[in-house]
Structure 1
Amino acid sequence: MVMLDISAFTGLSPEEAGRRLQQEGYNELPSGEKRGILGIITGVVREPMFLLLVAAGLIYFIIGDVQEGLILLSFVLVIIGITVYQERKTENALEALRNLSSPRALVIRGGSRSRIAGREVVRGDLMLVSEGDRIAADAVLLAGNNLMVDESLLTGESVPVRKFPGPMEGERRPGGDDFPWLFSGTLVVQGQGVAEVTAIGTNTEMGRIGRALQRLEREETKLHGETARIVRSIALIGLLLFATVVIVYGITRGDWLNGLLAGITLAMAILPEEFPVVLTVFLALGAWRLSKVNVLTRHVPAIETLGAATVLCVDKTGTLTLNRMTVARLEAQGQIFACDIRKDQSLPEPFHELLEFAILSCKKDPFDPMEQALLQKGCDDLDGTEHLHRDWELVLEYPLSRELLAMSNVWRSRTGEEYVIAAKGAPEAIADLCHLSPADAQAVGVEVEKLAAEGLRVIAVAKSSFGKKDLPDGQHEFSFTHLGLIGFADPVRPDAADAIGECYSAGIRVVMITGDYPATARYIGREIGLRSVEEVITGPQMESMDNRAVTGAVGKADIFARVVPEQKLVIVEALKQNGEVVAMTGDGVNDAPALKSANIGIAMGGRGTDVAREASSLVLLDDNFASIVAAVRMGRRIYDNLKKAMAYIISVHVPIAGISLAPVLLGWPLILLPVHVVFLELIIDPACSVVFEAERAEADVMQRSPRDPGEHLLDKQTTLLALAQGLGVLAVVLAVYLSAVSRGLDTAETRTLTFVTIVVANLALICTNRSWTE
């Protein structure tokens, strides 16, 4: 593949880009259905609680109590105000997450590359696109190498189409090979290119079709279904009791209108209409809180699953380590030079050629941390020598593949007639390219193990030359000479060991997956505190195993080395067969199947491709393992607080319902009227959505085992606790009522004292349920 030279492109100046952004607006489509004030009011009007409230108000008007009727109907405005506030708060949290989850774009501005939010791309920007990118805007291809794009989103055709730079002529439409047009929302599956943005936002092909991508919507979760069933069941009970109370009151007292009021009061007291509101607020604000610990929620159900995760499968590089590669060791001609120890010593001559060809095997302007480390080492030690070739022309690149874990660059010097080839890659792959004898290959393997045992990532370097005009199709057709080995150090993140210790305390197993050698993986495993580091399963070993063997192996080993991305899916599926709830990290195009299959797919936000991000449930904005652990902690806190809120709702409804039902059954005067129940409801809603949602985590939140994913939010123990609390409050309220009656207080005074008791008890229940461990 011919390398793409971007040195000739400068792009817009930052000032011009800012001016166009201000003039033309953001590169985004309408954000979809967003309820306005009228929509919110319509939703409130359809709520059973609202209908009961209006019915009660009308009855007061009929019996001539205008003041009570007006008070009840005025509560309608209060309820609408609270609903608008909650809706807006939830929508603002979701909007913030939408902004985070929009595609990113790599652009050239003022001659420099910068990665920006896709919504900030402007017309005239030069975008750099490569494998795994979701194209941020409509554009025309100016230069490209082997660029293939999946346009199925627009055409329905699953076969990628080839893109080729050309004149901006003809109809601009998706589909078909060798056109220069690129379209917003389509996916680059191969190659790379430079494209000039021609349309943004609603002016793109995607905008004309009217389909918005990358939006975080209100998704139905398991908890939504569970709470809906609970509300339906309780509503049915409330309906039956409503009818019973009206009939009994009417027959025994002959007052059907007051009987209807008593029935409405009981129905309002029983109906737990807070459940769906509280759930929506908790999950939306929970997603917002996760973003504050550098974790973006793409799919809301992941918040529920976080607290149930039993296994975290994580990449070593960049997640457990800092991904700041430095050249630590050079091995050539039987000698080893420790770069990290002998920093002040100049590089000995035997290592010059090794470093020279290692640099020639890199991209000119690399993103890969290893290649950046090699270029930096070359600038430090070879600057001013004949070993740096800034004037050579890069002719062809042979990319790394699963079949051959090595890549080669073909160069042409200004004066030389032969091509110069530089190769680097996995030591066994380079040994294969060099056709080393078994003895020599074994000797190289011994050196590799020594370097790997120090926790270093090891690559080999080789050189070749080629005198024919037509270059071959594959690397194996060159005659390579083995030059030596290079070991890279990548420091472990300072907080990785503590985070893994916290996982173990929380009953969560950590599995490290890496493409490095087993010895390197063991070294890093010891440094970060993995429990089991001696048993390592390698990718080649997995290839020789059947499904049963793999399922058994993943239950024992905590380290998987020399693994290719496709094998992550095998690991995930095997762990799930063992009954584990799996969280998996990934960043590449080939990681997408594993991310999709995992119970919680976690994409890397810094170095991850758009494909990986789209396949994931969560996106790790800082690529840090400690942030995953923080997300688990936050997920457990959200679930705990939601459980407390639901228990509180049940417990507080028991005394309200009981004190509404008792007078009808026992022939007492009505204690609670609809206005009292509505007032109490106005306390319950804000208390649940604010007090419990903002409550800090329990002290033991990361000291207990993961919860069973099949566990109900309101399990038997929680329900019994809530009912016991409610019955206790009911007993106190009835005792206060009877005491007031026995002291000869009139009905109004008795009602007031009882109501105040319920309010105080309500607040006491809030305090009681804020923590179940303190």
Structure 2
Amino acid sequence: MDVGLSDAEAARRLREEGPNELAPAARRPLWRLLLSVLTEPMFGLLLACGALYALLGNAQEAWTLMGFVVVVMAISLVQQQRAERSLHALRELSAPRAQVWREGRVCRVPSRELVRGDTVLLDAGDRVPADMRLLAATGVSVDESLLTGESAPVFKSATERMDAAACLFAGTLLTAGSARGEVVATGARSALGRLGASLGGVTVAASPVQLETARIVRVAAAVGLGLAALLALLYGWQRQDALQGLLAGLTLAMAILPEELPVVLTLFLGLGAWRLAREKVLVRQMSAVEALGATTVLCVDKTGTLTLNRMAVRRLWSPQGEHDLVSERDLPLPEAVHETLEYAILASHRQAIDPMERALQEAGQRELAQTEHLHADWTLVEDYPLSAELLAMSRVWQSPDRRERLIAAKGAPEAVIDLCHLDAARQSRIVGQVARLADQGWRVLGVARAVFAADRLPPIQHDFDFEFVGLVALEDPLRPEVPAAIAECRAAGIRVVMMTGDHPSTAVSVARQAGLDVAGGVVPGTALAALDDAGWQDQVARSSVFCRVQPEQKLRLVQALQARGEVVAMTGDGVNDAPALRAAHIGVAMGARGTDVAREAADLVLMQDSLAGLVTAVRHGRRVFANLRKAMVFVLAAHVPIIGLTFLPVLLGWPMLLMPVHVLCLQLVIDPACSLVFEAQPAEPGLMQVPPRPRQMRLFDRHLLLRSLGQGLGLALACLAAYAGALAFGESAESGRALSYGLLVLGSVILIFANRHWAVAAWRTRVRDGMGWLAPGAVLLVAAAWWVPPLRQAFAFERPGFPAVGAGLLLLGLAAVWFEWVKQRTP
């Protein structure tokens, strides 16, 4: 028996021949990242301001401004690199994986680690990871359109000749059957590599929130440029100083332009996807991160998602007797059920991948060892695979000591009963036994046998004269974390719908164990077939458990739920699940047992195939969207006082309170706050105890804008009052500017505190997630600008007196109270 390469030999070949990839995912070099930062509008404005300072003869101000430009540019560069690293890590995780024989066991390895000589196992829906010579093939057809342009599938078979009919080529897709092949060429040496094809990295589609943010930035930029031009003209006309007027206009443009928004959004979605990857949930489409928070229905399969997908034979039944392999494990297997297990194994693949077939083989090795009921010397003649029309499969064998062919069949009990053409009495007895076993939550298979003497085999299974042999009950235990996950979904207002191909009794038993709602009954796929669209919508409204569902019916169930206004997340693993995954708002593929077709059609991939992973993803999606709204409130609120302190002094005839260096220095507070503090903010208490947000809810809705405007206006008035108060205390304009600016910086920090949690007041929360250094840093920044002479001169400050500082602290306290009041009044 082929045991495959050893791990040591595979590692040696990988070192010598290189990875199985055509072009590694390229990361942008440092100079490209630097160029992308330098070409942002904000830096163009800053360079223009530096040039104006030079023209005005203020060399120190120009150099100070350039120094801050370097600091802020470094922060932006670090943020860009962080996002790049996250996306690169996601590319590594999303690389395809392959099933290989290594040292006599089946294991999954990244496709890039395949080497020449590896034995690879493929099933329908898998993408071929390297050029291979077929060693065994059962009903294999391949889509080779990637290489040839021909859309019709090509049939393949294992032959002694090394021709195209016996080879599978990298990048092609298995559309039917199963295969075992030996890798003969990898990477650039494969057919795909010789054609010069290039594998691109993961492309991230623009999400609705990203499009909305881009529109907000465009509108703000247009308004900002218009107001900046107006301010420049107004200042120049009032004070007869065109250069200073232009400087004031550029400062206002910097104040209005919310350049942080796209950066914040990119970081939130990228880092949110990376956090999910650490929870074994791979994000293939960034839009899924934000959509998760609006999910109202989770459509899940039973096997592997609710259960462990570790099948074990529990009970064997035949008309002559039965045996429980757990409660009667110490007793020898009765002769009455020997043939039931024997023919169930013969109806399975020898190198089994399917969990049920593995369980049958394990039971056979344990219970039938040293008996005549295991047939390693029999030759496989033909295979009749499972189909949508007949949920049963048959394998035709040739015994060395018999001329006739022996046929073993297994599948859904009703399909096997149909193959055997039983009379009503025998059918009734078998159906009763199926119901009894299925009521335990076990998966039940029917087993049949036939003898065929002619040389030419018939085209369909129904042409064999089958004899019913018995039933096999397999147990797939419920995942221990599933009941808690479903309870969490229920508390969060999310409905879980189970769609399975299992028997109705099995489906309802597992549903009850999991805690699903079974009050609406169990609806079989046959009952759905006769319904119109209105009937489908009525069924999905009343029922949460669907059994004997065909893959194409999953698509209609998803569409029926969507027609009722639900936001649907759908799990799937097979080739035929791809349309339903595409149709769902969030398609979720299984990483361990899913096909490549399903993974390519999905938005998320569960690396551990568990419902708990999907619930974790929903929880993360809600957290990301909630934290994103907090960050946006802070960014917009922080810009309001900057705009006010730039524009209003000109209208009031005051000196300029904010200059470019002040605005730039504020970026040292705003950018780290958005990217570090808000993104890392943990979920609000009770986040999963509230209904999902409406699908049509926008990021920049009325509540967000009102909260931003309300908090920002409060801080702007406090800063203006600080300047006016300083003048009333007899301070100079420079002292008033220093006090007003200090209030703006520290008020921005308090604004962060206020918006970290919307459910509780700021003073009831712990200092964490970056605030431990951000708040002291802001205080040190203000102190340095007041007390260090070169900085004081660059900022055009004078140190304010203690009475003015005391009044400023009082205003700061009032601003903090105002922030909380606005937060409570704008839900």
TM-score range, shorter chain: over 0.9
* Structure 2 residue corresponding to 1:552, chosen from 516, 538, 554: 538
Query: Is 1:149 matched with 2:142?
Result: yes
Cα deviation, residue 152, structure 1: 1.5
- Please list, as runs of the form range in 1=range in 2, the aligned pairs for 1:612-627 lying within 5 A after superposition: 612-627=598-613
Q: Percent identity?
A: 50
| Distance in structure 2 (CA, Å) of the matches to 1:650 and 1:464 | 75
| Distance in structure 2 (CA, Å) of the matches to 1:605 and 1:673 | 54
1:77 counterpart residue number: 70
1:733–1:378: structure 2 CA closer, same or farther, 3 Å change rule? same
Most deviating of 540-549 and 288-297: 540-549
1:118 counterpart residue number: 111
Cα deviation, residue 56, structure 1: 0.7
* Structure 2 residue corresponding to 1:90, chosen from 80, 83, 93: 83
Matched-pair contact (CA < 8 Å) for 1:513–1:561: yes
| Distance in structure 2 (CA, Å) of the matches to 1:741 and 1:355 | 96
Q: AA paired with 2:60?
A: Q
SS in 2 for 1:461: strand
1:217 counterpart residue number: 203
Cα deviation, residue 767, structure 1: 0.9
| Distance in structure 1 (CA, Å) of the matches to 2:319 and 2:177 | 37
1:207–1:492: structure 2 CA closer, same or farther, 3 Å change rule? same
SS in 2 for 1:555: helix
Matched-pair contact (CA < 8 Å) for 2:69–2:664: no
Matched-pair contact (CA < 8 Å) for 1:304–1:639: yes
Cα deviations across residues 428-466 of structure 1 (Å, max 9, x unaligned)?
A: 111111110122212211221111112111111112222
Q: AA paired with 1:651?
A: A
Query: Is 1:136 matched with 2:122?
Result: no
Give the count of matched residue pairs.
760
Q: AA paired with 2:18?
A: G
Matched-pair contact (CA < 8 Å) for 1:313–1:585: yes
| Distance in structure 1 (CA, Å) of the matches to 2:61 and 2:187 | 53
Q: AA paired with 2:123?
A: S
Q: AA paired with 1:467?
A: A
SS in 1 for 2:644: helix
| Distance in structure 1 (CA, Å) of the matches to 2:341 and 2:131 | 42
Matched-pair contact (CA < 8 Å) for 1:219–1:301: yes
* Structure 2 residue corresponding to 1:332, chosen from 293, 313, 318: 318
SS in 2 for 1:275: helix
1:210–1:469: structure 2 CA closer, same or farther, 3 Å change rule? closer
Q: AA paired with 1:257?
A: L
Cα deviation, residue 70, structure 1: 1.0
How well do the aligned residues superpose, as a CA RMSD in angstroms?
Answer: 1.9
1:341 counterpart residue number: 327
1:727 counterpart residue number: 713
* Structure 2 residue corresponding to 1:381, chosen from 351, 363, 367: 367
Matched-pair contact (CA < 8 Å) for 2:317–2:323: yes
| Distance in structure 2 (CA, Å) of the matches to 1:530 and 1:336 | 32
Matched-pair contact (CA < 8 Å) for 2:293–2:693: yes
- Please list, as runs of the form range in 1=range in 2, the aligned pairs for 1:240-251 lying within 5 A after superposition: 240-251=226-237
Cα deviation, residue 583, structure 1: 0.7
Cα deviations across residues 284-342 of structure 1 (Å, max 9, x unaligned)?
A: 11111111111100111111110111110000111001112222222222644333322
Cα deviations across residues 491-536 of structure 1 (Å, max 9, x unaligned)?
A: 1111111101111111111100111111111111111111234511
2:496 counterpart residue number: 510
1:66 counterpart residue number: 59
Structure 2: gaps spanning 5 or more residues: 761-827
| Distance in structure 2 (CA, Å) of the matches to 1:721 and 1:112 | 60
| Distance in structure 1 (CA, Å) of the matches to 2:159 and 2:468 | 42
Query: Is 1:602 matched with 2:595?
Result: no
1:44 counterpart residue number: 37
2:299 counterpart residue number: 313
Matched-pair contact (CA < 8 Å) for 2:72–2:664: no
Query: Is 1:738 matched with 2:718?
Result: no
Cα deviation, residue 113, structure 1: 3.5
Q: AA paired with 2:546?
A: F
Query: Is 1:100 matched with 2:86?
Result: no
Cα deviation, residue 102, structure 1: 1.2
Q: AA paired with 1:519?
A: S
* Structure 2 residue corresponding to 1:22, chosen from 11, 15, 32: 15
1:744–1:25: structure 2 CA closer, same or farther, 3 Å change rule? farther
1:363 counterpart residue number: 349
| Distance in structure 1 (CA, Å) of the matches to 2:510 and 2:179 | 37
| Distance in structure 2 (CA, Å) of the matches to 1:31 and 1:603 | 25
2:691 counterpart residue number: 705
Cα deviation, residue 181, structure 1: 4.1
Cα deviations across residues 111-157 of structure 1 (Å, max 9, x unaligned)?
A: 54432111111234333333211111233445534432112223322
* Structure 1 residue corresponding to 2:435, chosen from 441, 449, 459: 449
Cα deviation, residue 380, structure 1: 2.5
SS in 1 for 2:305: helix
Structure 1: gaps spanning 5 or more residues: 1-6, 171-177
Cα deviations across residues 576-609 of structure 1 (Å, max 9, x unaligned)?
A: 1111111111111111111111111100001001
SS in 2 for 1:312: strand
2:393 counterpart residue number: 407
- Please list, as runs of the form range in 1=range in 2, the aligned pairs for 1:173-572 lying within 5 A after superposition: 178-213=164-199, 215-333=201-319, 335-572=321-558
1:443–1:181: structure 2 CA closer, same or farther, 3 Å change rule? closer
Matched-pair contact (CA < 8 Å) for 1:410–1:420: yes
1:665 counterpart residue number: 651
SS in 2 for 1:424: strand
SS in 1 for 2:708: helix
Q: AA paired with 1:72?
A: L
Most deviating of 128-137 and 269-278: 128-137
Matched-pair contact (CA < 8 Å) for 1:431–1:482: yes
Matched-pair contact (CA < 8 Å) for 2:520–2:544: no
| Distance in structure 2 (CA, Å) of the matches to 1:364 and 1:90 | 47
1:214–1:577: structure 2 CA closer, same or farther, 3 Å change rule? farther
* Structure 2 residue corresponding to 1:587, chosen from 550, 569, 573: 573
Matched-pair contact (CA < 8 Å) for 2:133–2:162: no
Most deviating of 759-768 and 130-139: 130-139
Most deviating of 185-194 and 523-532: 185-194
Matched-pair contact (CA < 8 Å) for 1:103–1:214: no
Matched-pair contact (CA < 8 Å) for 1:522–1:534: no
Cα deviation, residue 40, structure 1: 2.3
Cα deviation, residue 711, structure 1: 1.0
| Distance in structure 1 (CA, Å) of the matches to 2:195 and 2:675 | 38
| Distance in structure 2 (CA, Å) of the matches to 1:202 and 1:608 | 27
1:30–1:652: structure 2 CA closer, same or farther, 3 Å change rule? same
| Distance in structure 2 (CA, Å) of the matches to 1:576 and 1:196 | 45
Cα deviations across residues 379-436 of structure 1 (Å, max 9, x unaligned)?
A: 2322222222233223222211111111122222232232222211111111111110
| Distance in structure 2 (CA, Å) of the matches to 1:209 and 1:709 | 44
| Distance in structure 1 (CA, Å) of the matches to 2:453 and 2:546 | 42
Cα deviation, residue 213, structure 1: 4.0
Cα deviation, residue 683, structure 1: 1.7
Most deviating of 318-327 and 687-696: 318-327
Q: AA paired with 2:629?
A: K
SS in 1 for 2:323: strand
Most deviating of 610-619 and 437-446: 437-446
Cα deviations across residues 51-75 of structure 1 (Å, max 9, x unaligned)?
A: 1101111111011110100111223
Matched-pair contact (CA < 8 Å) for 1:140–1:168: no
SS in 1 for 2:395: strand
Q: AA paired with 2:39?
A: R
Q: AA paired with 1:117?
A: P
2:633 counterpart residue number: 647
1:175 counterpart residue number: none
Q: AA paired with 2:264?
A: V
Output the TM-score relative to the length of structure 2.
0.89
| Distance in structure 2 (CA, Å) of the matches to 1:138 and 1:417 | 39
| Distance in structure 1 (CA, Å) of the matches to 2:338 and 2:111 | 43
